[in-house]
Structure 1
Amino acid sequence: MPTPRPRPSRRRLLLQAGAAAAVQVVVRPAAAQEPPALATLVAQFAGPQKVREGRVKLEIAQMVDNGNVVPMRVTVESPMTEADHVTEIAVFNEKNPQRDVARFQLGPRSGKADVATRIRLATSQQLVALARMNDGTVWSDSVDVIVITAACLETTTSS
Structure 2
Amino acid sequence: MNNQRRNVLKTGTGAAVLGALAAAGIIKPGIALAEWNKAAFEAKSMADTLKALGAAQPTDSKEVQVTGPDIAENGAVVPVGVTSAIPGTTLMAILIEKNPNALAASFTLPAGTEANVQTRVKMGQTSNIYALVKAGDKFFVATKEIKVTLGGCGG
Question: Does the alignment reach a TM-score above 0.5?
Answer: yes
Return closer, same or farther for 1:47/1:59 CA change in 2, 3 Å cut-off: closer
Structure 1 counterpart of 2:122: 120
Residue 60 (structure 2) aligns with:
53
| 1:9-158 → structure 2 map (5 Å cutoff) | 37-47=45-55, 50-54=57-61, 55-78=63-86, 84-110=87-113, 112-133=114-135, 135-153=136-154
The answer (yes or no) to whether the contact 1:68–1:121 under 8 Å persists in 2 is yes
Match of 1:19 in 2: none
2:53 is paired with a residue whose SS is helix
Aligned counterparts of 1:91 and 1:47: Cα–Cα separation in 2: 13
Return 5+ residue gaps in structure 2 as ranges: 1-43
Q: Is the 8 A contact 1:77 1:113 kept in 2?
A: yes
Which amino acid letter does the alignment assign opposite residue 102 of structure 2?
A: R
The structure with the largest alpha-carbon Rg is: 1
DSSP-derived class of the 1:139 partner: strand
With structure 1 as the length reference, what TM-score do the two structures score? 0.63
Per-residue deviation, residues 71-109 of structure 1 (Å, max 9, x unmatched): 11100003xxxxx41111111112222321000000223
Whole-angstrom distance in 1 between the partners of 2:54 and 2:142: 14
Contact 2:45 2:101 (8 Å CA) reproduced: no
Greater share of helix residues, 1 or 2? 2
Give the whole-Å Cα distance in 2 for the aligned partners of 1:39 and 1:126.
Answer: 14
Change in Cα spacing, 1:119 to 1:149, as seen in structure 2 (3 Å) is same
C-alpha displacement at 1:57, in angstroms?
0.4
What is the deviation of 1:147? 0.3
Distance 1:120 1:47, change over 3 A: closer
State TM-score, norm by structure 2. Answer: 0.65
Residues in 2 aligned to 1:145 and 1:94: alpha-carbon distance in whole angstroms: 11
Task: Provide the C-alpha distance between the structure 2 equivalents of 1:98 and 1:68, rounded to a whole number of angstroms.
Answer: 15
CA distance in 2, matches of 1:43, 1:118: 24
Pairs aligned (count): 111
